[in-house]
Amino acid sequence: VLFDMDGLLVDTEPLWSLAEIELAEHLGGAWTDALKAAIVGTRLEVAVPTILTGLGHLPTPELVAETTGRLLARMVQLFAGELLPRPGAVALHTALRAAGIPVALVSSSYRVLVDAVLHRTGLAFDLTLAGDEVVRAKPDPEPYLAACRVLGAEPARAVVLEDSPAGVASGEAAGCAVVAVPDLAAVRFDPAPRRLVVSSLAQITPAQLRELAARP
Ligand SMILES: [Mg+2]
């Protein structure tokens, strides 16, 4: 079973919003919904220059590097103090481990933030893969295919747990069954033969995941 991190395992979005508002203040501007909309779902290589430009700064390589470092350092700090798991995530992880089912964490986020989440939650995974450790990010199937390869798991017998459209697309392109648990209100998923759509991981048991993975 392959867990996504942001918005699926842990509730990171409120902490990103807090850090973004602080960053805008530091840069002498104000955070706006338009800026949020422009960067949602993008990596920091894209998001940081967009934020700088939006706040009236020239995105020089030096300023981009400094701003990225500041944002990541602040997120590590926030994760250590305030990060909460999503409902049902810890109980499902515990039940899967007890059933002897291999579990992986497959994130689009940075290794430094994946490690901060592992430290904060104390959860153990058979494999963790960060976004800066793959060449092609979700929605490309590479992250989930790479995780299955390392685990020795057949993708068709694996289940991906995801909250975002890009993550669901990545899991399905890899040939995995998917449980979609939307985090943001604006995101909706339709059910499909090998896709369960639920409002919370608290509704999911290991037995259901076995049944889903066995579907043709
Ligand atoms: Mg996610």
Report CA(84)–ligand 1 centroid distance (Å): 14
Report CA(152)–ligand 1 centroid distance (Å): 24
pLDDT at 42 (0 to 100): 79
DSSP single-letter state for residue 4:
-
Task: Collapse the DSSP code of 105 into the 3-class scheme (helix H, G, I; strand E, B; otherwise coil) and give the result.
Answer: strand
pLDDT at 146 (0 to 100): 98
Report CA(89)–ligand 1 centroid distance (Å): 13
pLDDT at 39 (0 to 100): 86
Which secondary structure element, helix H or strand E, spans residue 92, and what is its range?
helix 89-98
20-59: pLDDT as tens digits: 999 999 999 999 989 988 887 778 988 999 999 999 999 9
pTM (2 d.p.): 0.92
Angstrom distance (rounded) from CA 178 to CA 160: 5
Annotated catalytic residues are 4, 6
Nearest 5°: CA angle at 30, between 25 and 32? 135
Report CA(58)–ligand 1 centroid distance (Å): 30
Report CA(160)–ligand 1 centroid distance (Å): 11
Q: In sequence order, which residues have a C-beta less than 8 Å from that of residue 211 and are 6 or more positions away?
A: none
Report CA(27)–ligand 1 centroid distance (Å): 28
Q: 188-215: b or e for each residue (b if 16 or more CB lie within 10 Å)?
A: ebeeeebbbebeebeebebeebeebbee
Q: Which residue ranges in the chain fall short of pLDDT 70?
A: none
pLDDT at 43 (0 to 100): 83
Tokens of 26: 């530091």
